[in-house]
Amino acid sequence: MSKRDLKKYLGQLTKEQLEEQLIELYEKFVPVKTYYDFVFNPKEDKLLQEAKVKISHEYFPIKKPNAKWRPKAKMRRSVAQKIIKHFLMLGVDPYIIADVMLYNIEIAQTYSSQNFIKQELFYKSIFNSFEQVINFVISNGILTDFKLRIEGVLNETMQQKWKNRYDFETIFDKID
């Protein structure tokens, strides 16, 4: 069904029928419920804190109280990417999205400063995140608000002597 056909169909419904359909969608589909829950009660600060906790647990998992071993860091970029995609779908404020994007990189750098990482994919992945956050802040006109944090990421990359540190520098030089 095209958007045009949908508009035509919805135009033929009464107000009561429209309300019934929206209630049915709300009850049947989790993404619809999530969207309306956010629209009518946007607790962005709570969402931000939950996102940061999830991302930090990817690098610094918490030992369960009675467990004899500490879980290994999974370092999955996909967790942060899923959160960012979800925030974009909900229409969360771009400042919060940029904050999450940078937090993901910063926590990964904190982990790499304390642990040797031999997987090249880790560095490539963080570089992709760096490029993504730069494009995002530029397209949303908020670069000046995040430039110091972006520069901090670049400096940390240089200090840790990442193999792809010059790629980070090249991207940063384009915005400078």
Q: How far is residue 149's CA from residue 172's CA, in Å, rounded to a whole number?
A: 12
Per-residue pLDDT of the chain (176 residues; tens, 9 = 90+): 898 988 989 899 899 999 999 899 989 998 888 888 888 878 888 889 999 999 999 999 887 777 677 788 898 889 999 999 999 988 899 999 999 999 999 999 999 999 999 999 999 999 999 999 999 999 999 999 999 999 999 999 999 999 999 999 999 998 87
Delimit the domains of the chain by residue range: 1-41, 43-175
Residue 21: C-alpha distances to residues 10, 29, 36, 90 (Å): 10, 12, 14, 21
